[in-house]
Structure 1
């Protein structure tokens, strides 16, 4: 299993707008990618400059699939520019070394 974690700063719009657009327009797309396992969005609160942070976590079966999700996310974020604007702060990806699930 492979994970891609992307960090953003919300520079235009609100976390509620981002959440709505993610749920209605991005999640249906990412779920169609081969190897999709899970996608989550975390609002991290206000940074030192007073702007909200957004972190996304994508899980896929293979590294290539996780990489494809990054391109999909970048294309989607450009489409959403009339509604909100995200500044990408960084991205990390790699093989999931271990995980725990509820019994």
Structure 2
């Protein structure tokens, strides 16, 4: 009986986590485009930009970036307060250089 309770609890935690999962690239881009904040990007280019950012940026930076894309919140002050500003600048430069060959 105890094992069944643990399994049920674990299942419910997984479901709860899935319900609170971060929005996907598709969802983020759809919302950003619908809100008029995509800077002229279409869905495909936006999702490509998301993939490039996801591949290059560290988790702390991309969490703030993707939150800003989804909500429209200006997270630049929070990014500026992260440790390792040199690292962050290098990542954004790498991302910028990677966009043209990868996303056109």
Please give the range of the TM-score, normalised by the shorter of the 2 chains.
0.3 to 0.5
Q: Which one has a larger percent strand, Structure 1 or Structure 2?
A: 1
TM-score (norm 2): 0.33
TM-score (norm 1): 0.33
The structure with the larger Rg is: 2
Q: Which gives a bigger RCO, structure 1 or 2 (Cα 8 Å, sep 6+)?
A: 1
Q: Which one has a larger percent helix, Structure 1 or Structure 2?
A: 2
